[in-house]
Structure 1
Amino acid sequence: MFSPTPDIPEDKVRFREVVLGGASWSHVLKRGSTLRIIDPQGGANVSALFFNFELMVERYNMSDTLKAQHVAFLTTGRALYSDMGRILVSVTDDTSGWHDTICGHSTASLVERKYGKATFQEHRNKYHRNGRDSFLVELGKYGLGTKDLVPNANFFSKVTVDDTGGLHFDESHAKAGAHVDLRAGLNTLVVLNTCPHPLAPCGTYDPKPVHLVVYSSEPAGPDDVVRKFRPENDRGLILTDRYFM
């Protein structure tokens, strides 16, 4: 059953989809649409990459995103910048409050060390997947590969940094029913997976599913929450709009 979305008019919904725990997914999110990601059970992690589908060498740039907005994590009002200064997607609504930007994704060796070895040959669809291989599966569908693995975002995961530089994963952060809305600025290739966060605690391998809703949305107006967050975002949105002029 899909999560309810009473705030989205049904005639605006383009499609809904469920991504199982430990699975991967990709879609070209068209300008004029928004992707809502919902964590129905709590405890989900969604690792995501973003590319300009019309110019695949243009992709999400973590460092520019953080520097331009003077932030370290994502939430409402923040934009995900490309390496050309344009905005691939913007966070227009968020009930989670914190999405990790600095920790990357899991690998096969990390997952085996934390959760044990479970191969497809022995466990079939219950085998232990990891973020890196899942990204590569989806990237390969578009002619992309290892060279296109750049620092990713991790939605629903919160990681804090202490005074010594130590990273701390907040196990209590991802609440059931939380959602985040990502509005496309470009025709944006979204590549994601629901594998465990690299700092998630050891124990049972049990990645959580997420629900997706793609719906029609209006472009950023003069009072848009993203435009108002930082002067840099206003310039980023102007530069993004000019791409289509």
Structure 2
Amino acid sequence: MEPRLDHQVRNAVATVVIGNAAKRNAMTADMWRALPPLLDALAADPAVRVLVLTGEGGTFCAGADISSLRGSSAEAQTLAVAAEEALAAFPKPTLAAVRGHCVGGGSQLAAACDLRFAEEGALFGVTPAKLGIVYPAASTRRLVSLVGPATTKYLLFSGELIDSERALRTGLVDEVLPEGELDKRVAEFTRTLAARSQLTQAAAKEFANGRTDRDAHWAEQARGSGDTAEGVAAFLERRQPRFTWAVPGRG
């Protein structure tokens, strides 16, 4: 099949699947271009409360399709950064579900997600030093925020792959699941995320990502949302809350 990005929305969870089986789900230029508008559409969909990014079959993403670098490596990097930034800016919780190789551009995309769950045996690497490419400043800062400067330097200087256990120890991933249990855990956790307050999640995402100048905005949103009153009432009545605040559509 042709390289593509598939997606589906089910039970408030949008799942985007990277598909390029012939090249271990490497991202082509067209796939990089397709990701930002797809994310915009899913962000605007009120039925979507959580987004999962994963790869088809037994691997996440082996990076950029190297053949696309023969034309213009600068253009290829620009496309990858635009896709990474669109993913990082997605206004609802995002989770990368990783099997197999998560390398180069694959790690770039995984790092742009809010959370990363991996199956045992997954391998991670940031490999521009193998190609003589300068890794983008924003991507480097994002990696530092996840794993710290020492591990960032190890990954970028060497281009070596690390296993899922080391990725967990360094903070590159949040959970490691035994083989065969990743899908079940992702489904369970995304159900939890979808049931929580989008107001809380959206504000927390902004603050955690360094946007700290909008306290007044979020206080106003909280006052007008009804989510706090609903959360307290549900707690006292021992029932599940029905939160109604929704992320505004992009216009």
Larger radius of gyration between Structure 1 and Structure 2: 2
Higher relative contact order (CA 8 A, sep 6+): 1
Query: TM-score normalised to the size of structure 2?
Result: 0.22
Q: Higher helix share goes to which structure?
A: 2
Query: TM-score normalised to the size of structure 1?
Result: 0.23
